[in-house]
Structure 1
Amino acid sequence: MTARPLPARPRSWVIGMRAAGAMALAMVLASCTLIDGGNRSQEASTAKADPSIVASAPSGLEQFYSQEVVWESCESEFQCAKVKVPMDYDKPEGDTIELAALRAPSTGNKTGSLLVNPGGPGASGYDFVKDASGTHFSQPVRDAYDLVGFDPRGVKRSAPVTCMTDAERDAARAKIYDLDTDAGLEAARADNKAIAAQCAEQTGPVLAHIDTVSSAKDLDILRAVVNDTKLNYLGYSYGTFLGSTYASLFPDNVGRMVLDGALDPSISNEELTRGQARAFEKAIRAYVASCLEQDGCPLSGTVDSGVQQLRDLIAAVEQTPRTAKDGRVVNATMFVSGLITPLYNDQSWPALTQALEAAMTGDVSLMLRLADLGADRAANGTYTSNSTFAFNAINCLDYPMDSDTAAMRAEQQRLMQDSPTFGYFFAYGGTNCADWPHKNTRTPAPVEYKGDSPIVVIGTTGDPATPVEWAASLRKQLGNATLLTWEGEGHTAYGRSNSCIEDPVDSYLVSGQVPADNTVC
C-alpha cells in the first residue's frame, strides 16, 4: 500500500506505497540501463500440472490447479502466460478472469520459481520482472529461480480497474478544492462519486472481487501452475501485506518468503495514514539535511529553516498555482506529489534538488515531471498503468474508512501536528471510498501464521512509506519469522541496500539459511 495519488482528490491522494515505482524512478533518474545478460529460452512450453499438487487443491478449485499453462516467448527475451482464476472464490463455478504473468527463466541450475510482487496495491509485477530482473537480483538468485512477475487481479493486464481516459485523468489531477469549507468538501465528494460510478460501469463485476484475500488465493494457484509444492515469494511494500495474508491462509504452503518494507496488517487506515505522515516528515528532514551539505543546494541555514523554506514554497504554490513549460497548471497537490516521489529512494534526491532549484526561481516543470513519474504519466501524455485506480479500488475493499466530516476534520488536525509539511495533504482519505460501489470485505487484524517455514521480514529506518516499526510489528505477529533492519533512507531495502542485507537474503533464498534475527546494519 503506498500512498499514491487518487483521481479527483485534492489533498490525501498524494501518497502511495509501491516499491516498484520508487525503483523505476531511481533507475530513470540515475540513467541506469536495464540490461539482462542471461540467456533466456524463447521457446514456448506447456506446464503440465503435477498430480500431487492438484491433489492438495482446495475443494471446488481443482480445475484451476490442474490447468495447463502455455508459456510463450514475449517481450524479446521472456516468457508470458495467462492463468485462469475464479472471479469470485465463493462461486468458483461462475465467471473467471485471467492473470498475466511474465517469467525470466533461471540462468543456472533451477530449484524452483520465485514469485515477485513489487507493491502498490496496483503495481505491475509483470513490468517489474521485465524491467529489473537483470539488475535487481544477484546471480545466485537468478541461477536458482525462474523469476515470475504477475499483475494481480485489477492491475494493468489482469482484469484491470478502468475508470477514466488520459485526458480525464489530467483534468482530475489539476482540480483544486478547498476542503476546509463544506462547499469544497462536497465538491470533492461529488467528483469522487462520479468517478466511482465510472469505475463500476467500465470495470464491471470484477470490481467487487479485487480484495487482497482474493489475490492471495490467486497466488496459491500461481504457485501450483508453476509446479512448486511451496511458494517462494518476494514481496515489497503492499506485497508484504499480500504475502502475510497468503501465509495466514496457506501456512503449510509457505516456502522461502521475504517481506521487505513491511505493512502492519493490524492497523486501521487512519493509523496507516498517520504513520506515513510522520515517516514522510522524517524523510523530508533527512533530505534537507543531506541537501544542505551539498554544493548547489537551493535551501539554506539549518535543517529547520530549510524545511520551512519548503513549506513556504508549497504555500506559495497553493496560493498561486504555477504554469509549467508545457502549459499545464501545477497546483499544490501536484507540487507536493512531485516533492514526495523522490523521497522513496535517496538515489533520486539529486533530481529533487534540481527540481527545487528550478521551482524556487519560478519554473515548476521539473517538479511536474516528478509528479508525473509518480502517477505513471509518460512525457507524451499517456498513462502507462492503471495503478492509481487499482490502488483506490483495492483499498476500498481492504479497509473500512471513516467519511464523517467531523471525524475527517479532526484527523486533519492530527495529521498537521504529525507532519507540518505534508499532513495537510494526507487528510480526507475517507472521501475516496464514501460512495464506492462495493463495501469493504476486511477488518484490520493481526495476521496469524502457524507454518513451519521461517519468514524473513525487512524494515528500513528511513522508510517514508512503510515506517520501520511496522516491520517489527509484522515480525512479532508472524511468530516464526526473523527481522532484518537496514539503517538507510528510502522505501524498502533488498536490491538497493548493502551486503549486510543483500547477502543474508540471498543465502536464505538460495540455500534456506535463515538470517540472524534482529540484525541491524
Structure 2
Amino acid sequence: MTLRPALATTLALALTVTLAGCIAPAAPTPEPEVSDGLAPFFEQGVDWTECGEGVDCATIVAPLDWEHPAMGSIELAVSRIAATGTARGSLLVNPGGPGGSGFDFVRDSIRYVASADLMEEFDLVGWDPRGVGRSSAVECLDGAAMDELLFGQWDNAYETKAWVTELEAAEAEYAAACARNTGPLLEFVDSGSTARDMNLLRALLGDEKLNYLGFSYGTFFGTMFAELFPERVGRLVLDGALDPSIGALDWFAVQMKGFDDALVAYLAFCVGQGNCPLGGTEAAARSTFTNLLDTVDAKGIESADGRALDSATLGFAIAAALYSEENWPALTSMFEEVAVGESFIAFQFADSYYGRGGTAEYDNNSFDVYTATLCLDDDFQGDEYDVRSGLDAIDAAAPLVGGYFAFDDYAHVEAACTAWPYAPKKQPGMYDAAGADPILVIGTTNDPATPYAWAKSLAGQLESGVLVTFNGEGHTAYGRSNGCIVETVDAYFIDGTVPTSDPNC
C-alpha cells in the first residue's frame, strides 16, 4: 500500500526555526460525552509558541491507549498558520503516509498547496500523528542498519524460496527491534487511535465539527474519523482516496497495477518527445524497459557510496518518479544514466522516498511508521497469503514495474507484519459514516498510488460521499491539478457548496 507522504504536493523546503514568545491558549470545546478518565485530555490548554515566520507550534497530550487512558500518555506536535483574514475555524491537514509529517507539511509547504482564498478563511493546522517525527515516535533501526535492510544485497535471488526465508529472518529482526526501541507506543499507532487524536485536536482547537483536508493515507484517517464520529464531521475532503473495504493483498495488487498504468502513460510521453532512450515506439520502449529490469541485477551498477542498484531499488525509484507527471523528464534522464551504468538520479528518487539524506542518515521515520501502522490496520498475520503467493498475485496484476517495486514494499510489509509483536486492531464492519454531513472524495483517473477505482468505491460506501474526478496523471489533485479542482474544493470549504454532480475536472 505504498502511500506515504503525498510526494506530488510535498515540497522540500529549508526553514530556520526560532522560538519566541507564547500566544494565548485556545479555548477547548466542551465535550459533555467524555468519560472521567478522558476529561483531563479534553480540558488541557494549548500553548501556542511562535516557531517560524507566520507559524505557531504547540504540543498536546493524548492517551497512549484510548480505551484505557490510565495506561499513560503521548505527545503530539502541532503546527498552525493563522488565517490571513478572520478565521471561521481550523482546517486540519494531513499529507498521507502513513508516516508523513503533517507538522512539516503545514509549516513548510501548505502555502504552495492551499489557495489564497482558503488561507484567508481558515487557520491551517498540521500535526505529526502518533508515532511520527516530533510526536511520540516509533524507533526501529539506526541509519547503518536501515541501509542494510533497504539497500543491502541478499545472498539469494529475488523470488526464490531461499530469498523468502532470508527476507523473513531479516524482517523478524526488524520487528523485534521496533518493539525493543519503541516500547508500548508500538501497539497504538493504528488509524483508529489517530482518528481519536483528531477528535481531541478538533475539541482543543475550539471547533464543534472537524474540517479536514486529507491526502493519500490521510484519507483513511479521515474515513475512520467519519465512521467513529459522524456527528462531528464538518467539511471533509479526502484526496487520493483509499478503499477501506478490500483486503491488504488486493490493495497492493491494485496499487501496483496503478504504477504499471502510470508507466504506460510515461512510455507514451517518452516516445512522443523523440529520442526516448528506451526506443522509438511504445512497443520497443516497453520491451527495452522489461529487459532493463530483468538484467540490471547482473550489471553491478553502484551508487557513489557503494550501494547496489538492483532490480528492487530501480523499481522503487521508478515508482517514486511516477507519483508526479512533473518527474517524467527526470525519469527519462534516469534511464539514460542507467543505460551507461550510472545511478545518481535513481538513488535520488529512492532516497527522497525513504527520507535518506547523507550517508546512512534518515531525516524522518516514515518507513517505520508506514510499516507499524499497516501491521495494525490490516490482518497480515491471519490472511491466506505469504510473501511468495502475494508476489505471484502482484506479478499477475502488474508485470511491468509493480512486481519489482513489490520486492522492497509488499514483501517487506508482508514479512514484517507476519512477525509483528502486536495483533492487528479490530476494524469497523463498514465505513458509511451514517448521518455525517457531505464528504468530498477526490480521485485522479490515472493516480498510480491510490487508483481512481478506490475513490469511486469510497464515495459509494460513505452515506454522504460525493465523488469529484480529476482527469489526469499523478498522485492526488488539490494544489497540483487545475482550477476546477481548486474552485470545487474551496467552494465546499468556504461556502459549504456541495457539487450536485461530479464536476469531472
TM-score class, shorter-chain normalisation, is over 0.9
Q: Say which of 158, 181, 189 aligns to 1:210.
A: 189
Residues 1:457 and 1:56: Cα distance change in structure 2 (over 3 Å): same
CA deviations over 1:444-463 (Å, ceiling 9, x no partner): 74312123411000000010
Query: Does 1:495 find its partner at 2:479?
Result: yes
1:94-141, Cα deviation, whole Å (9 max, x unpaired): 210000000011111110000001101010001111121221111110
Which of 259, 274, 288 in structure 2 is aligned with 1:309? 288
Find the partner of 1:97 among 74, 79, 89: 74
User: What is the CA distance between 1:333 and its match in structure 2?
Assistant: 1.3
Correspondence for 1:45: 23
**TM-score where L is the length of structure 2:** 0.93
Partner of 2:150: 173
CA distance in 2, matches of 1:60, 1:473: 38
Which residue identity lines up with residue 70 of structure 1 in the other structure?
D
Q: Deviations over 1:257-307 (max 9, x none)?
A: 000000001110011011111111100000111111114431213223212
Equivalent residue runs for 1:118-517 within 5 Å: 118-177=95-154, 178-379=157-358, 381-401=360-380, 407-425=386-404, 426=406, 428=411, 429-443=413-427, 445-517=429-501
| Structure 2 CA distance for aligned equivalents of residues 356 and 285 of structure 1 | 15
Structure 2: distance between partners of 1:334 and 1:112: 44
Structure 1 position 72 matched with structure 2 position 58: no
- Partner letter of residue 49 of structure 1? A
What is the CA-CA distance between 1:380 and the residue it aligns to?
Answer: 5.3
Alpha-carbon offset, residue 375 of structure 1: 0.7
Moved more, 286-295 or 470-479: 286-295
Paired residue type of 2:93: V
Q: Which runs of 5+ in 2 are unaligned?
A: none
User: What SS is found at the alignment partner of 2:69?
Assistant: coil
Tell me if structure 1 keeps the 8 A contact 2:444–2:477. Answer: yes
Q: 1:454 to 1:160 in 2, by over 3 A?
A: same
Shift of 1:153: 0.4
Which range is displaced more, 334-343 or 227-236? Answer: 334-343
Shift of 1:58: 5.0
8 Å Cα contact 2:146/2:360 also seen in 1: no
* Structure 1 Cα separation of the partners of residues 441 and 266 of structure 2: 26
- In structure 2, the CA distance between the partners of 1:404 and 1:86, relative to structure 1 (3 Å rule), is closer
| 2:23 counterpart letter in structure 1 | S
Q: Tell me what 2:34 maps to.
A: 57
Which whole-Å CA distance do the structure 1 matches of 2:158 and 2:308 have between them?
A: 19
For 1:180 and 1:452, the matched residues in 2 are separated by 46
Quote the RMSD (CA, aligned, Å): 2.1
> 1:38 maps to which residue?
none
> Aligned equivalents of 2:90 and 2:382: distance in 1?
42
CA distance in 2, matches of 1:90, 1:376: 33
Identical aligned residues as a percent: 38
Separation (CA, whole Å) in 1 of partners of 2:450 and 2:35: 33
- 2:4 aligns with one of 18, 25, 35: 18
Tell me which amino acid in the other structure corresponds to 1:328: R
Whichever residue aligns with residue 78 of structure 1, its letter is V
In the TM superposition, residue 424 of structure 1 has moved relative to its aligned partner by 2.8
Cα 1:42/1:113, change in 2 over 3 Å: farther
Distance (Å, rounded) in 2 between the aligned partners of 1:203 and 1:19: 22
Contact 1:113 1:232 in 2 (8 A): yes
CA distance in structure 2 between the aligned counterparts of 1:98 and 1:407, rounded to whole angstroms: 36
Contact 1:334 1:371 in 2 (8 A): yes
Alpha-carbon displacement from aligned partner over 1:64-104 (angstroms, at most 9, x marks no partner): 11110100011343111111000011211221000000001
Which of 111, 116, 134 is the matching residue for 2:93? 116
Structure 2 distance, partners of 1:220, 1:443, is: 18
Query: CA separation in 2, counterparts of 1:211 and 1:189?
Result: 23
CA distance in 1, matches of 2:422, 2:69: 20
Q: Distance in 2 between matches of 1:225 and 1:403?
A: 38
In the TM superposition, what is the alpha-carbon distance from 1:438 to its structure 2 partner? Answer: 0.5
Amino acid at match of 2:83: S
Separation (CA, whole Å) in 1 of partners of 2:114 and 2:43: 30
Return the letter of the residue paired with 2:447.
D
Shift of 1:358: 1.0
SS at 1:81 equivalent: strand
Consecutive unaligned residues of structure 1, counting only runs of 5 or more, are 4-15, 36-40
Cα shift at 1:171 = 1.7
Per-residue deviation at 1:496?
A: 0.5
Following superposition, the deviation at residue 179 of structure 1 comes to 4.4
Classify 1:238/1:445 alpha carbon distance in 2 versus 1 (closer, same or farther; 3 Å).
farther
Bigger Cα displacement from structure 2, 158-167 vs 287-296: 287-296
Contact 1:34 1:132 in 2 (8 A): no
C-alpha distance in structure 1 between counterparts of 2:184 and 2:147, whole Å:
26
Name the CA shift for 1:407/1:20 in 2 (closer, same or farther; >3 Å): closer
CA 347–201 in structure 1, closer or farther in 2 if over 3 Å, else same: same
Displacement of 1:157 in angstroms is 1.3
Quote how far apart the aligned CAs of 1:34 are. Answer: 8.4
Greater CA deviation, 242-251 or 399-408?
A: 399-408
Deviation, structure 1 residue 220: 0.3
Matched-pair contact (CA < 8 Å) for 1:266–1:444: no
Tell me the secondary structure at the aligned position of residue 20 of structure 1.
coil
- Measure, in 2, the Cα distance between the counterparts of 1:114 and 1:282: 34
1:158 partner letter: S
What is the deviation of 1:501? 1.0
State how far apart, in whole Å, the 2-side matches of 1:490 and 1:114 are.
24
Tell me the CA shift for residue 199 of structure 1: 0.6
Of stretches 201-210 and 288-297 in structure 1, the one that deviates more from structure 2 is 288-297
CA distance in 2, matches of 1:89, 1:361: 55
User: Which one of 61, 64, 70 corresponds to residue 84 of structure 1?
Assistant: 61
CA distance in 2, matches of 1:20, 1:324: 26
Relative to the length of structure 1, the TM-score reads 0.91
Cα 1:321–1:59 change in 2 (3 A) is farther
Tell me, what secondary structure is at the counterpart of 2:70?
Answer: coil
The residue matched to 2:136 in structure 1 has which SS? coil
